[in-house]
A = this chain, B = another copy of it.
Amino acid sequence: MKVVVAILGLGISAWCAEAASPVSGVTPAMAATANQLIDLAKQENHGYELVRSLTTEVGPRLAGTEAEARARQWAVEKLQALGLQNVHVESFKVPVWMRGIEFAEIVSPFPQSLTITALGGSSSTGEQGVEAEVVVFDSLSALQQAPRRQVQGKIVFIDEIMARSRDGSGYANAVRKRRAAAYVSQQMGAVAALIRSVGTSSHRFAHAGQMRQADVGGESGVPTAALAAPDADQLMRALGYGKPVIVRLVIAPQLLPPASSGNVIGEIIGREAPQEIVLVGAHLDSWDLGTGAVDDGAGIGIILGAAKLIMEQLPKGPRRTIRVVLFGAEEVGTVGAKAYTRQHAAQLSDHIVATESDFGAGDIWRFDSRIGEDKISQMAAIVKVLERLGIAPGNNIAGGGPDLKYLREAGVPIVSLLQDGQDYFDFHHTADDTLDKVGPRSLDQNVAAYAAFMYLAAETSADFR
């Protein structure tokens, strides 16, 4: 394999210089190189090895904790070992919300415990907890429309179910209740709130997740937790008897002073246009319950695995700079993404295109973009190369990953390599997000697609700005 790499490495730059097509920007030589990257990705499994390493050696890595700091150290060492240039950490501060005791039980009529987890940012019940009758709503909207007297003094339970889908589109709806339940319940005089987990698992895992941006102040909301799906079912069955159901809820998280977090950055510096940036991101932090394998160890493995292949193939680098950004503090409110946009404000106009891998390790099946209409045919030439991986052209309203929000708003061109997320929300934000949930073969397909895309976007003469 090493021999093949070396021969290809010699061949590429000559072809590129000679055969660039002014229409598509992707020459036959570039396509050939991209295909070689794809072939190599199927033979290596360095991406998977990186996920294994991060989730084993660091494990859970909540934003602002010592564990996230260890993850940054891990990342710096890995980026340096891979041979990336300009490896550094860009620091920022993040408020730290730490989970404490958490416990819930039906007190009557059917005493038994319930599996819960406090939502990120939740206020505390104190260790003595709260005990009250449960009032159920089938959606956040139904709660919002209820008379206040129905809610006052009670524990709100929002039983809205999240739909399973390939593109994860059920999440946007479901997450509304997670973000707002605490505040709406507080406004209506409730003492606490429970939500059916924002997830699709039928196993007994409560799904964590931020209930609001960690750096937004204002009202504290009532103490709020997610119930595992079997426990939401159980609570609904208990309520079905038509008697008052009394629940005791104890959650005692702490909000600590802001602590250090950071984005870890490394580059493959462009051989001809180093100032032009193709940004590829993933996030380094995770929720605290699992080891952050699908969210977002997989993304880290995918983009670093792809970067490694490109460096092996192209010792002098592609034409433009590929900048790898491992965002910190994504889970608690894309704090790292905000910091990046702020710290690189003057450079945003140099970003040719940005993408992020943050949706697990399922096969990529579609390619969306958000670029000028006049650039679509040039992007289509790149997508054409990815077709052999089962990737179809999609639309031009790509969302990009969560960490691309501010870049997108600033007008940076965005693409999304959409992964199959049918089972992503079975694991995402739960204790069950562990390495065994990452499929090595699917990860290889992702590495192949990212390697080909990163190379082509950095090599093509097309400009997507």
Residues of A within 8 A of B (CB): 52, 56-60, 67, 106, 109-113, 115, 202-205, 229-230, 233-234, 237-238, 290-291, 430-432, 434-436
A230–B67 CB distance below 8 A: no
8 CB-based A-B contacts, threshold 8 Å = A52-B237, A56-B238, A58-B112, A59-B106, A59-B112, A67-B112, A203-B205, A230-B434
Which residues of chain B have C-beta atoms less than 8 A from A290's C-beta?
A: 204
Nearest B-chain residue to A109, judged by Cβ: B57
Contacts A67-B111, A237-B52 given; does A434 touch B204 at CB 8 Å: yes
Which residues of chain B have C-beta atoms less than 8 A from A202's C-beta?
A: 436
Contacts A110-B57, A110-B59 given; does A432 touch B238 at CB 8 Å: no
Cβ 8 A contact of A233, one of B110, B113, B435: B435
CA distance A436 to B106 in the complex (A): 19
A161 to chain B, nearest CB (A): 13
A230–B436 CB distance below 8 A: yes
CA distance A112 to B67 in the complex (A): 9
CA distance A106 to B291 in the complex (A): 13
Cβ 8 A contact of A432, one of B204, B430, B436: B204
The 4 closest A-B CB pairs, nearest first, are A59-B112, A230-B434, A204-B432, A56-B237
B431–A204 CB distance below 8 A: yes
CA distance A115 to B67 in the complex (A): 18
CA distance A230 to B60 in the complex (A): 14
CA distance A431 to B230 in the complex (A): 10
A327 to chain B, nearest CB (A): 21
Nearest B-chain residue to A57, judged by Cβ: B110
Nearest B-chain residue to A426, judged by Cβ: B203
A31 to chain B, nearest CB (A): 39
Which residues of chain B have C-beta atoms less than 8 A from A112's C-beta?
A: 58-60, 67, 291
Contacts A59-B112, A204-B205 given; does A436 touch B233 at CB 8 Å: yes
Which residues of chain B have C-beta atoms less than 8 A from A109's C-beta?
A: 57
Which residues of chain B have C-beta atoms less than 8 A from A205's C-beta?
A: 203-204
Which residues of chain B have C-beta atoms less than 8 A from A430's C-beta?
A: 204
Nearest B-chain residue to A60, judged by Cβ: B112
Contacts A115-B431, A230-B432, A230-B435 given; does A58 touch B110 at CB 8 Å: yes
CA distance A170 to B277 in the complex (A): 56
CA distance A205 to B202 in the complex (A): 13
CA distance A111 to B234 in the complex (A): 35
CA distance A115 to B289 in the complex (A): 10
A56–B234 CB distance below 8 A: yes
CA distance A204 to B115 in the complex (A): 14
Contacts A67-B111, A202-B436, A205-B204 given; does A291 touch B234 at CB 8 Å: yes
Contacts A202-B436, A204-B431 given; does A110 touch B56 at CB 8 Å: yes
